[in-house]
């Protein structure tokens, strides 16, 4: 088949909603775009464990500690499903980890902000996982099979994360004057960075047009961001708190909430490595990697021992 015919068959499949699988022919740019997005997504899950892990030893009760440990463990699992999906595109886990640790690979800007108080655990769950879930529900229908299947399971767990975050804030919002203030402060600090999670505005998004044509993305960055603003502006009423944006108001013509301008200079500065915690996150990842070497070696030695035992039995 000529290259033209291969490309046509490939696009026809996508148009007919047939998933692209690892052994199918695909344009090199489709492979690269998926690899870029899936590996960035995996890195975000893994780096995302750090700001939350920060509060495991300081959770206010045994119950809160158990819930937080479960959530952080879920994030590790999400990272692993996603690394496995990315590996089907012809790269190795080692290479991806090296790219993350060297600072070459991107991960979500949101995880370069600090978690200063217990209320941040609520705000991260409600706002950060809330933003993530909107994006990820769309990705359950993405055109690359292994990515779409990983997302189905991830979304089930993310909806638990969002609810636990909201419930944490709900308790604080009904608490003492100090707890209410802590709740409002966390919302104030996490609101704008959460809006930035959806990526640059559509006019600045270099990858969106092609990704939408290939149905890797089904909605644009601005469409998802608007959906998030509409959802959170309603949910916050139940907390009796406010969003730190005076321009939020219902727009009858658009049937959506209007909202203020995002600080895009801050967004790009964080993406380029100059956010409040970029350096700290990479240092932590590199330290963990070095300190975990004996665990990786032990796991490999155990796997090899098991393999030899099976070989002897078969023989």
Nearest approach, Cβ of 298 to ligand BYC (angstroms)?
27
Residues numbered 147 to 206 that lie near ligand BYC (CB under 6 A) are 196-200, 205-206
Whole-angstrom distance, CA of residue 288 vs CA of residue 128:
24
x/- letters, 218..257, toward ligand BYC (CB under 6 A): ---x------------------------------------
Radius of gyration of the chain (CA): 21
Tokens 């344009």 -> residue? 27
Residues in the chain: 315
Under the binding rule (CB under 6 A), the answer on residue 48 touching ligand BYC is yes
Nearest approach, Cβ of 166 to ligand BYC (angstroms)?
14
Site for ligand BYC (CB under 6 A): which residue of 34, 37, 39, 278? 37
Nearest approach, Cβ of 252 to ligand BYC (angstroms)?
29
Residue 183 in 3-state DSSP? helix
Under the binding rule (CB under 6 A), the answer on residue 91 touching ligand BYC is no
Nearer residue to ligand BYC within complex by CB, 12 or 98? 98
Site for ligand BYC (CB under 6 A): which residue of 34, 117, 135, 164? 135
**Token pair listed for 307:** 């393999």
Asked if 123 contacts 166 with a C-beta cutoff of 8 angstroms, the reply is no
Whole-angstrom distance, CA of residue 234 vs CA of residue 230:
7
Q: Which of 115, 142, 141, 117 is nearest to 128 (CA)?
A: 115
Nearest approach, Cβ of 216 to ligand BYC (angstroms)?
8
Contacts with ligand BYC: how many residues (CB under 6 A)? 28
Whole-angstrom distance, CA of residue 270 vs CA of residue 287:
22
Half-sphere exposure (Cβ direction) of 230: Cα atoms closer than 13 Å: 13
Site for ligand BYC (CB under 6 A): which residue of 34, 168, 211, 226? 211
**Token pair listed for 69:** 């440990």
Nearest approach, Cβ of 187 to ligand BYC (angstroms)?
16
Distances (CA, A) of 278 to 8, 71, 266, 269, 294: 42, 22, 13, 10, 26
Under the binding rule (CB under 6 A), the answer on residue 143 touching ligand BYC is no
Whole-angstrom distance, CA of residue 243 vs CA of residue 228:
13
Among the listed ranges 103-111, 166-174, 234-242, 299-307, the one in contact with ligand BYC (CB under 6 A) is 103-111
Q: Which of 284, 228, 230, 277 is nearest to 256 (CA)?
A: 230
Asked if 146 contacts 225 with a C-beta cutoff of 8 angstroms, the reply is no
Q: Which of 263, 287, 207, 232 is nearest to 35 (CA)?
A: 207
Nearer residue to ligand BYC within complex by CB, 127 or 243? 127
Under the binding rule (CB under 6 A), the answer on residue 96 touching ligand BYC is no
Nearest approach, Cβ of 251 to ligand BYC (angstroms)?
24
Nearest approach, Cβ of 228 to ligand BYC (angstroms)?
12
Asked if 242 contacts 236 with a C-beta cutoff of 8 angstroms, the reply is yes
Residue nearest ligand BYC by beta-carbon distance? 48
Residues numbered 260 to 289 that lie near ligand BYC (CB under 6 A) are 271
Nearest approach, Cβ of 96 to ligand BYC (angstroms)?
14
Asked if 162 contacts 137 with a C-beta cutoff of 8 angstroms, the reply is no
Among the listed ranges 22-30, 124-132, 173-181, 253-261, the one in contact with ligand BYC (CB under 6 A) is 124-132
Rule CB under 6 A: which residues touch ligand BYC?
36-37, 40-41, 44-45, 48, 75, 106, 108-109, 128-129, 132, 135, 196-200, 205-208, 211, 217, 221, 271
């Amino acid at each position: 088949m000529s290259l033209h015919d291969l490309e046509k068959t490939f696009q026809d499949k996508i148009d007919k909603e047939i998933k692209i699988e690892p052994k199918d022919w695909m344009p090199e740019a489709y492979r690269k775009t998926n690899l870029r997005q899936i590996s960035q997504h995996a890195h975000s899950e893994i780096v995302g464990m750090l700001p939350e892990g920060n509060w495991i030893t300081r959770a206010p009760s045994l119950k809160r500690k158990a819930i937080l440990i479960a959530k952080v463990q879920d994030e590790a699992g999400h990272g692993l499903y996603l690394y496995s999906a990315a590996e089907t595109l012809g790269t190795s886990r080692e290479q991806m980890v090296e790219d993350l640790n060297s600072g070459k690979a991107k991960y979500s800007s949101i995880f370069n902000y600090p978690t200063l108080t217990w209320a941040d655990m609520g705000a991260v769950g409600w706002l950060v996982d809330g933003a993530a879930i909107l994006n990820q529900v769309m990705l359950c229908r993405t055109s690359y099979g292994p990515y779409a299947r990983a997302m189905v399971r991830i979304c089930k767990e993310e909806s638990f994360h969002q609810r636990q975050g909201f419930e944490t804030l709900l308790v604080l919002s009904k608490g003492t004057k100090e707890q209410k203030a802590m709740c409002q402060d966390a919302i104030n600090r996490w609101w704008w960075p959460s809006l930035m999670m959806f990526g640059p505005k559509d006019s600045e998004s270099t990858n969106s047009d092609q990704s939408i044509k290939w149905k890797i993305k089904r909605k644009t960055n601005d469409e998802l961001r608007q959906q998030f603003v509409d959802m959170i502006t309603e949910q916050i009423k139940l907390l009796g708190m406010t969003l730190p944006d005076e321009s939020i108001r219902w727009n009858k013509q658009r049937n959506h909430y209007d909202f203020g301008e995002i600080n895009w200079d801050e967004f790009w500065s964080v993406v380029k490595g100059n956010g409040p915690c970029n350096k700290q996150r990479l240092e932590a990842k590199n330290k963990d990697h070095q300190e975990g070497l004996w665990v990786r070696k032990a796991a490999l030695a155990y796997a090899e021992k098991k393999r030899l035992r099976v070989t002897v039995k078969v023989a």
